[in-house]
Amino acid sequence: MREQWLKRWREGRIGFHLAQTHPALVRHWKALEVPRRAKILVPLCGKSLDMRWLSELGHPVLGVELAPEAIEQFLAQRSGEISRYHQAGFDIARQGSVELWQGDFFHLHIRQVDEVEAFYDRASLIALPPATRQRYALHLAQLVPPRAKGLLISLQHCDDDAGPPYSVSQEEIDELFMPNFRLAKLEEGAPDERGFVESVWALERRGPLT
């Protein structure tokens, strides 16, 4: 999976990237009532413009991305001073209030995200094959504190084995996240021209891990 993802970015096969802020983020983020200065974790962030939108609301953003091409393309979208440093296996670039960690999300340790108070997943869960999604849900729960809120945007389509983006059913979302998060479905769209159905979820981290 790791090499396939890196190859997609090297070859520019990134049809999942939106050239605008995701409309569901704009519609639903403020309703979560995340404190204005809360730091937001964005796993598998790519070069998403959603991070700019969150930072413009006043949030510091910590994005984690495996592909260096994604990070460099994000930084090139805007002028502005870039500071770079290295920490515990991650190459880190900071531009304004957006901090991008280049490396494996599963190697991220809770000590490195101790200031995170909320999270946003637009294309992380659906980028992962079934065997990895349970590990992802548990790792996310380990990284964010109790009562941390987040937004999850997922997809469902007719070919469960095809991806990314992979199809993730409501039943699987419940199974993955309900042990450690409170879940509420905020919306479900109509099928698009590919037959993809997008759903949006609000999550809130429960107490101790189960």
Please list the residues that pair with 119 across neighbouring strands: 41, 150
Q: Is position 5 annotated in a ligand binding site?
A: no
CA distances from 69 to 12, 16, 37, 114, 200 (A): 9, 15, 28, 27, 28
DSSP assignment of 83-108, as one string?
EEEEETTEEEEEETTEEEEES-GGG-
Please report, as a single letter, which amino acid is at residue 42: V
Q: Is position 9 annotated in a ligand binding site?
A: yes
Please list the residues that pair with 204 across neighbouring strands: 149, 182
Pairing between strand 181-188 and 197-205?
antiparallel
Handedness of CA 129, 104, 143, 77 (dihedral sign): negative
Q: Is position 44 annotated in a ligand binding site?
A: yes
Dist. CA 168–CA 157, nearest whole Å? 8
Residues contacting 125, CB < 8 A, separation 6+? 133, 136, 137, 152, 154, 168, 173, 176
Q: Is position 201 annotated in a ligand binding site?
A: no
Binding residues: 9, 44, 65, 122
Binding residues for S-adenosyl-L-methionine: 9, 44, 65, 122
